[in-house]
Amino acid sequence: MYKGKQHPRSLEGFKSLFDTLYPPLCLFANKYLNDMDTAEDIVQEVFIKVWEQDIQYINFYAAKSFFYKSVRNRCLDYLKSKYHRSVIQSPDIDFEKIVTEEFFLTQLTIIDTYSQLETAIKQLPTKCERIIRLSLNEYTIKEIADELAISKNTVKSQKRIAYEKLRHSLGSLLNIF
């Protein structure tokens, strides 16, 4: 997690910023491009540009905002490019929709929510984490019990423990789910 006290220009601070923002930025870019390889390339390009230009930020939230807007703009540039229109031909992309601020904010909210949920799930005890991940993949209690070779009561009790911990760490965010 990015530590706001570190200056992002230091190698340690920049690495921390990269480690924190890279995965959600890739998911965010993929919402525009529907191509994870290209999304990763674009996010890497943005990080390289920031490093090379020695761009500095007041705090983590300013950096986060800058990166999301930069990635969005780079994705839109890519989609508008002659190469993309002539070679890939994506008639299913609604350019008018994806250039709107509403689309940007919606995708930002989705990715940020997913990132917070993923962080909270990773903090669960191992058994709880495995059960919650299977549950989120729509496994029934019986299927989870069979998969993990445990009783249905153990699954129920571990889910209850997991939800209590998630409720505590996510607060009102859990109500979205």
- pLDDT in the model for residue 5: 40
| Model pLDDT for residues 32-76, shown as the tens digit of each residue | 998 999 999 999 999 999 888 887 777 888 889 899 999 999 999
pLDDT at 93 over 70: no
pLDDT band at 82 (very low <50, low <70, confident <90, very high): low
pTM over 0.75, yes/no: no
Using the structure block, give the residue that is written with the tokens 């299913």: 92
The tens digit of pLDDT for each residue in 104-123 reads: 888 888 888 888 888 889 99
**CA–CA dist 167, 128 (Å, integer):** 14
**Whole-number Å distance between alpha carbons of 107 and 76:** 14
Band (pLDDT 50/70/90 cuts) for residue 30 is: very high
